[in-house]
Amino acid sequence: MTALADARRRAGLTALYLGIFATIWLSVPESEPPWGALLVAGSVAALITAGAGGALAVQARAWGPLSRDAVTDRKYLVIFAAELAAAGFGAVLLAVTERSEYIPVLVGGVVGIHFWPLAPVLRDPALRILAGLVCVTALAGLITGMVSTVSPGEVVGTGVGVLLLGYAIGALIRGGMTLRASHP
C-alpha cells in the first residue's frame, strides 16, 4: 500500500471511530431546548462524519491490501484494554460510593489519558493535543460539578463530544488532502 493510501486509510478510520464516539458523548448530557437540539444536531453531524470516514477508509483499500503490524495491533489492544478496565473499575467504584454523577468526569479523564500513549502507536502526534484538551474538559466538569448545580455530565459530555467531532472532521480534511495530492 502506498504511503498516501495508508495515510488516507488512517484518516478515514480516525474519522470513523471518533465520529462514533462523539455521537455517544454528545448523547450524555440531558439538556432542554435549545441546547438539546444543538446536541442532536452535533450527534447527527458526528454520525455523518463517521460515515464519511468509513467511506474514506474503504476507498483506500482500492489502492492495495492493508498493511498490518502485529506489534502495533498488540500495543493498541493493550492500551484500549487498560482504558476499558480503568474506566469500568472507576465507574463501579463511583456508583458504589453514590457519586455516579462523576462517572462522565472519570471516563473523560481516562479517555483523555489514553490518547497520549496512542499517539505514537497510531503515528498521530496531534492526539497528544487532543489528550490534553479532553483532560482539561474532564477537569472543568469536575470543578463545575463541585461548585455549581450544573451536572458534570453536561460539561464533559458536550465538551468531549465537540472535541472528538472536531478532531474527526480534521481527520477527514487531512484524508481529503491526501486524495487531492494523489490526483494533481
Domain boundaries, the chain: 3-182
Q: Is the pLDDT of residue 178 over 70?
A: no
Q: Is the pLDDT of residue 87 over 80?
A: yes
Question: How sure is the predictor about 68, in pLDDT bands with cuts at 50, 70 and 90?
Answer: confident
pLDDT tens for each residue of 18-34: 999 999 999 887 777 67
- Whole-model pTM over 0.85: yes
Mean pLDDT of 31-56: 89
C-alpha cell recorded at residue 51: 460515515
Write down the mean pLDDT value for the chain: 90
> If phi over 0 gives left and psi between -120 and 50 gives alpha, with beta otherwise, what is residue 123?
left
C-alpha cell recorded at residue 175: 484524508
Q: Is the pLDDT of residue 168 over 90?
A: yes
pLDDT tens for each residue of 95-151: 999 999 999 999 999 999 999 999 999 989 999 999 999 999 999 999 999 999 999
CB 95 within 8 A of CB 103: yes
Long-range contacts made by residues 168-171, C-beta under 8 angstroms, separation at least 24?
A: 168/14, 168/15, 168/16, 168/18, 168/19, 168/22, 168/46, 168/49, 168/50, 168/53, 169/15, 169/49, 170/126, 171/11, 171/12, 171/14, 171/15, 171/18, 171/53
Question: How sure is the predictor about 4, in pLDDT bands with cuts at 50, 70 and 90?
Answer: confident
Nearest to 93, CA basis, from 71, 116, 110? 110
What whole-number distance in Å separates Cα of residue 59 and Cα of residue 174?
A: 15
C-alpha cell recorded at residue 142: 469536575
CB-based contacts of 126: which residues, under 8 Å, 6+ apart?
Answer: 119, 167, 170
